[in-house]
Amino acid sequence: MKKNIYSILKGKFLIGDDSFKNWGVIIYISVLAIVMIASSHSADQKVYEIAKLTNEVKELRSAFVDKRGELMQLKKESFVEREVKEKGIVISLNSPTKIIVKSNQK
């Protein structure tokens, strides 16, 4: 048992007669480890990108709600009346009448 541990620590399994099998396994495990690390980094980058885009969506939604509220305020009749009154235009007291044009063409 002690002899086997010393031979592994000294690396004799890499230079022995059957070392070709061992090198194949070591290279295979190394390639798998590199692929796993690359995949992990890719997943982390995607998570950061998703978090950034989520924050951007929240900011844009907030800006949209603010602008929609502003627009609703600007569309109110009382606001329009106040703005027009500053320019010297008064609102008519008579309601508008509908003009109907009858055409003789058939």
Average the pLDDT over 4-25 and give the result.
77
Range with the largest mean pLDDT of 27-31, 96-100, 102-106: 27-31
pLDDT value at position 106? Answer: 63
Provide CB contacts within 8 A for 79, sequence distance 6+.
73
* Helices within the chain (DSSP H only): 2-10, 12-15, 19-75, 77-86
Mean pLDDT on 73-99: 87
pLDDT reported for residue 41: 97
What are the CA-CA distances from residue 20 to residues 4, 6, 12 (Å)?
19, 20, 12
pLDDT digits (tens, 9 = 90+) for 17-36: 777 777 888 899 999 999 99
Q: What share of the chain has pLDDT > 70, as a percent?
A: 99
| pLDDT reported for residue 90 | 82
Is the per-residue pLDDT at 62 higher than 90?
Answer: yes
Report pLDDT for 21.
77
**Amino acid of residue 29:** I
Spell out a b/e string for 95-104, using b for 16 or more CB atoms within 10 Å of the CB, else e: eeeeeeeeee
